[in-house]
Amino acid sequence: MIYTIMVKGPAYGTENSMSALLFSRALIIRKKHIIKSIFFYSDGVLNSNKFFSPGVKDYDIKKEWSIFSIQNKVRLNVCFSAALRRGIIGVKETCNQKILEGNLDVFFKISNLDTLSRDIKKSDRIIQF
């Protein structure tokens, strides 16, 4: 089965992001499933902030998403408009905003709802967290 995962919860404060990560790992382990993409929307875009600095004893969810993406070759898409509303700026947007450096982590890619709809069309299931 082919899945698209949508994460709408922030990195910290809710369990949405952690639940999505654990669910995604479980799908990959079974080896019967494919994850088309993971789409961060609404407050979920906050997972992509490269300036997040969890405490020493806190779980680094952004790092774990990055590792998951690399190991499993799964795209981590971030909604462009939701990101801008929440102060997440990619490299391309820094020129338009006259900012020296963006805060989008390198493992996350700015995307849009068209990409999400294409991924959903190619998937058997969409799961939202």
- Residues taking part in catalysis: 79
Three-class secondary structure of residue 108 per DSSP: coil
Residue partners of 101: CB distance under 8 A and separation at least 6: 94
**DSSP-assigned letters across all residues of 27-84:** HHHHSS-EEEEEEE-GGGGGGGBTT----TTS--HHHHHHHHHHHHT--EEEEHHHHH
**Contacts of residue 49, Cβ cutoff 8 Å, sequence gap at least 6:** 11, 62, 88, 103, 104, 105
Report how far residue 103's alpha carbon sits from residue 18's, in angstroms, rounded to the nearest whole number.
Answer: 21
